[in-house]
Structure 1
Amino acid sequence: MKIRNALTIASLSDAGLVRNFNEDSVAVDEDIGLVVVADGMGGYKAGDVAAGMATMIVGNELKAQLGEGRSNGNPVSAEAIRAAVNRANQSIYHAAHNRAQFQGMGATLVMALFHDDMVAIAHAGDSRAYRLRHDKLEQLTVDHSLLQEQLEMGLISAEDARVSHNRNLVTRALGVNQNIVVDVRQERALPGDIYLLCTDGLNDMVDDADIELAMVSLQENIPLLVKQLVIMANDNGGHDNISVAAIRVDRPFPARRGFWGRFFSAWRRG
């Protein structure tokens, strides 16, 4: 059984109502259970290029890593995910510093890699991952942003944070420096779970409570869910590009064996 038979995946990317150009990028590879969402920065064309590079390079790198793992028996670890994101980071960084039209470009990124009964979540920046389990929504990532740092230090209240002008000042992004720190977590994925990856064009416009309500109401129709979330963001102003990917775990993944068994077994031990 392929991984695609265990998941229902839908994604949608929209320019919103204010921006004339969509700088987000979404990539889905159902065969390996990979979804990548990136939010480009740097203005017309530059941000689009950075986001496209991020999703393409991370996808290609991980697919190559998985192929190598199957052929030579070497496990792929969380470090392989970090290495894939760092490869994308370096490519964006060098393009931004060597071509005038791409100067200042960068991208935030969030990704999910599914297999066996596990999911790996990685992110850099303020693009987010959520999980709906037993009709309860949980944010799985912590924003790498100035606003989040202010919240953690108690310098600003949650109420003031909702209207802060610092909402979009990120402290990590691909392409800004030659190296990037990538947060990676892994957890068991249960049948019935719905994972949501999004750019800040969604969560800046739609409260978590309303995201939860939409996910609970439309969990049986994942394509309609992503459409509804984009509509809700636009109804609330659509001030930014909006990208959403939803992944529902429909049944247990293929039994752990061979490459993937070594991958996740090594991860649990390490």
Structure 2
Amino acid sequence: MSIQFAAATDVGRLRPNNEDTVLIDATLGVAVLADGMGGYNAGEVASRLCCETVVQSLREHAALWHDDPHRALLQAIRQANRRVYEEARTHPALRGMATTVVVAGWRDGQLIVAHVGDSRLYRLRQGLLAQLTRDHTLVQDHVDAGLLPASGARLTGYRNLVTRAIGVAPWVDIDLAEHAVQAGDTYLLCSDGLTDMLTDAEIARILRHTGASDAAARALVAAANAAGGRDNITVALIHCPPRAESGA
């Protein structure tokens, strides 16, 4: 089964700079997306360091990524966490910086996924969109505990308060999962600049109409900007074409 990648990022309509980063390594079969936070410029430093460190670690340990992708991915994210944490401690201008991260890597018909924070992974399968990651946010914790109805989560002003992030402490708790990939699947990694502006139904409609190309990534960004663009907007798409589409 072959896979195709696409990505797009935009500063949005209100923010002065883009604190999101997205990196794709098609050779490894990996997409990494991070949404930084912190003082002036620190958020973009955190997200860039995180993505670069994850990809670099997987490249340096390619044999481990091939033989034990779970361990390789956890090792890469822990290394990124240490790097962001130490950089923040060493440079006063970067103090307090942190970032979310979501990583998706294709290995032998499986998508290995790891994430920290509220950047998400979705799957579009046979026209139906499903969120595959759980947000590490105060609001989601309240929903899970039965203290807030799921229908109210999108409306609260506290929905973006993350409870886990890269670079906050020397150690980080990482969620890891594995999903069987089917031909025709499209996977979407995105920052909350997309999901705060568009509903899941709107995202699904765009993907169904535009496929999973660079044009689709740009269409998602454009729709989020048209809806207000209150934050940086970043998306990455992983598409597993059916045999007829891939020419097999």
The alignment's TM-score, normalised by the length of structure 1, stands at 0.86
Output the amino acid matched with 2:195.
Answer: N
Equivalent in 33, 36, 39 of residue 40 of structure 1: 36
SS of 1:22 mapped into structure 2 = coil
Equivalent in 5, 18, 21 of residue 22 of structure 1: 18
- The answer to whether the Cα contact below 8 Å between 1:66 and 1:76 also exists between their aligned partners in 2 is no
Number of equivalences? 243
Q: How do 1:215-254 and structure 2 match up within 5 A?
A: 215-219=207-211, 222-250=213-241
Q: How do 1:208-219 and structure 2 match up within 5 A?
A: 208-219=200-211
Output the amino acid matched with 1:32.
Answer: L
- The answer to whether the Cα contact below 8 Å between 1:125 and 1:170 also exists between their aligned partners in 2 is yes
Q: Matches of 1:242 and 1:178 in 2, distance apart?
A: 28
The reply to whether residue 115 of structure 1 matches residue 107 of structure 2 is yes
SS of 1:169 mapped into structure 2 = coil
- The answer to whether the Cα contact below 8 Å between 2:120 and 2:135 also exists between their aligned partners in 1 is yes
- The answer to whether the Cα contact below 8 Å between 1:21 and 1:44 also exists between their aligned partners in 2 is no
- The answer to whether the Cα contact below 8 Å between 1:107 and 1:175 also exists between their aligned partners in 2 is yes
**Unaligned runs of at least 5 residues, structure 1:** 253-270
SS of 2:100 mapped into structure 1 = strand
Equivalent in 61, 65, 78 of residue 65 of structure 1: 61
Equivalent in 181, 188, 192 of residue 196 of structure 1: 188
Which residue of the partner structure matches residue 128 of structure 1?
120
Which residue of the partner structure matches residue 48 of structure 2?
52
Q: Which shifted more, 156-165 or 80-89?
A: 156-165
The runs of at least 4 consecutive aligned structure 1 residues that moved more than 6 Å come to: none
Q: Matches of 1:204 and 1:88 in 2, distance apart?
A: 26
Which residue of the partner structure matches residue 9 of structure 2?
13
Change in Cα spacing, 1:61 to 1:251, as seen in structure 2 (3 Å) is: farther
- The answer to whether the Cα contact below 8 Å between 2:64 and 2:72 also exists between their aligned partners in 1 is no
CA RMSD of aligned residues (A): 1.5
The alignment's TM-score, normalised by the length of structure 2, stands at 0.94
